[in-house]
Amino acid sequence: MTIDQLSATRLVIVLSKKDMGVFALDYNSIYLENEIFQRVLKRLVAIARERITIPLQNKALLVEAIERFDGCILLITVLPKHGVAAKRYKLKRGVGEIMLSFACADDFTDCMAQLYKNGFRLLRGEAYRNNGEYNLIIAKALKLSSRALGLMSEYSSDVCENEIKISLTREHGARLAAGFPVMKIGEVFAVNS
């Protein structure tokens, strides 16, 4: 049996198959309503208190059991006191995307040609045709220069950041190019202009 402290509120107890035999446990008998497991857990907590610095006595514990081919892993977390706010974590949203709309094919191709000619060939994104309108979707994470934004705004009729509208365009539109649309589309029209 090994007992390791992972953090100020969490410890792990690894029981070998032999340890499980000593405590008369098998993985299927590890649940809190089982009186045998309750006694074993109290004994394990008593042993752990001697080896770690986490205060476990009279604390609410969350016990997670993970089966191993040669025993079991018990992950024990000390829960915060009732009324004390636990630390909450939030996932940060992605940076998002913007979609530029072009009223006609000429505006779209002229914009792509200008972006190509001005060195914005490696602009990552996707191009779509949807209901007679052309759309260019690019990640906002890309640090666009004011020059690139100026070129795009000169030709585009609308700029949208709405995730639903962008998803609908992807779902219902006909994809013209993906990856580097300026490289693929702009090259063709930059030569002709």
In a structure prediction context, what are the per-residue pLDDT tens digits for the chain, which is 193 residues long? 888 888 888 889 888 889 888 888 877 778 777 888 888 888 888 888 888 888 777 778 888 888 877 788 888 888 877 655 555 655 444 457 889 999 999 999 999 999 888 888 878 889 999 988 999 998 765 566 777 888 888 899 998 888 889 999 999 999 999 888 988 888 888 775 5
C-alpha span between 102 and 108 (Å, rounded): 6
Show the domain range for 173.
97-192
Distance between CA 126 and CA 2 in Å, rounded? 53
| Packed helices 146-155 and 105-117: angle between N→C axes, nearest 10 degrees | 160
Q: Which residues of 28-53 are buried (b: 16+ CB within 10 A; e: fewer)?
A: eebeeeeeebeebbeebbeebeeeee
pLDDT at 26: 79
Domain assignment present for 91: no
Tell me, yes or no, whether 147 lies in a domain: yes
- 67 with 138, same domain: the answer is no
- Confirm whether 88 is domain-assigned: no
Q: For residue 176, report the phi and psi dihedrals to the nearest 5 degrees.
A: -95, -35
Same domain, 69 and 106: no
Instruction: Verify that 123 and 54 share a domain, yes or no.
Output: no
Residue 107 within a domain:
yes
